[in-house]
Copies of this chain bind each other. A is one copy, B any other.
Amino acid sequence: MAPQITTRSSVEVATTPVLSNDIETVDLIEANIVASGANKKTVRVVNGLGSLMGSKEITQLDDSITAKVQPSTTTSGEKLHISEQPWTLNNWHQHINWLNMVLTVFIPAIGFYFALSGKVPVRKNVVLFALFYYVASGITITAGYHRLWSHRAFEARWPLRLFFAILGAANVQGSIKWWGHSHRIHHRYTDTPRDPYDARRGLWYSHMGWMLMKPNPKYKARADISDLNDDWIVRFQHRHYIPIMILTAFVFPTWVVGKYISPGDYMAGFIYAGILRVFAIQQATFCINSLAHFLGDQPFDDKRTPRDNWITALVTFGEGYHNFHHEFPTDYRNAIKWYQYDPTKLFIYATSILGLALNLKTFDANVIQQGIVQQQEKKVNKMKNKLHWGPTLDELPVWDKKEFVEQAQLNKNLVVISGIIHDISNYIPEHPGGESLIKQALGKDATRAFQGGVYRHSTAAQNVLSELRVAVLKENGNAAMNFVKRRGEQFDKNKFE
């Protein structure tokens, strides 16, 4: 099964519009084909097992990719796909993706059985090696599979790429090619039916459900991964994925432990540095699709589910700052604050100093700050809308002086401050400055006394005031407008013109 490599054909795009007085619109069908990479001759690089942990149903392309998703129908005679049928005693086994079940559930279960039953006792050095190998292999997913290949956040020279590709297989998460492909689909279709780990379907679905069950082929999607196919290391790893995976995930740690770490202890190497380490890395990675879409803050945008949280970051070498990551996917960092935990970023930075990585991409700091400010503004506005702020200038009736004097005969508790008339009946006993002082103002214009002549009242006092408003004084309309303007209130200036 030799791969058929074709060189990447650059897209031919019409950049010169025909001179007419109308503007051409981007052709959505064509653009979607470009986005899916279907305009390029597909590089067929296959391996024996198909796409490990991926299901053909969600990665194969046909023409329907650009069509709108149709609700499934039972009226047509066609047989429904298994994912659209209810689970029954007869068909449950057809719902399940047994390969993934074996790789992510059964094998780890065997590992746990040997570990917990005490059949394979473990020595401290073996645990230490398993941890070390956890870090060494795990970083190839976050720095390599994810930030380098899925997002082109930086470029890497071949020795580093080879390291990522070889040790990357030790995580049993599929080849770079498959992983990058479904990850790009996830970014493009986040929170839609085409998102492979659609967080809207619940925590469990986005954690493992999506890979343990057969997906609906109706929602299959494809992404352009021609740049990955252009990389001989990616092709090499994909083609020889099974042997590389078996060697690096299981054989190598078993051998190292039995030979050097704890001589003769091959079984401990296999269980702890092999099976259980793989289980830990898989679960940590799955957390990015589940927890990081459920738990934490959204400091950059809240249009979609991704969230920043340090718990996921801890077990994934910094990938838990997922709200940032979905907003700024090509940034080689996931965390930008010094106190946030993102060792993958530091690792990439270190390799760049060694000359192994280059062109580390960061998003424009201005754009990043804009996201933060907009989110905070939203929060403030939400809080603002929960409070009551008294009537606006536009909502108030307008009285002239004569009317005020008449009204003041009926209600002795009217006070004019900055052109606005207030009824302070209920506030007199509450006044922090005392009753006798506030009573000085009854029926009068207390602007100067209130604004500094006796006491320069706080913003809080101005807020109290705004809830006591009953009318605007016609002759002092300008004062009223200036006052509410300084308070940042909106109003229609035509009212007093």
Contact = CB atoms under 8 A, between A and B. Distances in A.
A329 B458 CA distance: 11
Contacts of A188: 433, 455
Interface residues of A, number: 90
A389 B373 CA distance: 12
Rank and list the top 4 A-B pairs by shortest CB-CB distance, nearest first. A11-B436, A26-B449, A330-B432, A17-B443
Contact of A16 (B412, B441, B447): B412
A409 interface: yes
A354 interface: no
Given A16-B443, A371-B463, 7 more contacts: A10-B436, A23-B416, A27-B440, A30-B440, A31-B437, A370-B389, A374-B459
Given A370-B387, A433-B35, A303 B458 contact: yes
A388 B412 contact: no
A37 B235 CA distance: 90
Contact of A367 (B20, B25, B26, B463): B463
Given A449-B28, A458-B303, A387 B401 contact: no
Contacts of A430: 330
A446 interface: yes
Nearest to A40: B436
A284 to B, nearest CB: 25
A265 interface: no
A218 interface: no
A20 to B, nearest CB: 7
A444 interface: yes
Interface stretch (A169-177, A239-247, A377-385, A477-485): A377-385
A22 interface: yes
A469 interface: no
Contacts of A455: 35, 188
13 contacts: A15-B439, A23-B401, A25-B446, A27-B440, A31-B440, A34-B437, A34-B440, A366-B387, A370-B387, A370-B460, A371-B459, A376-B379, A377-B384
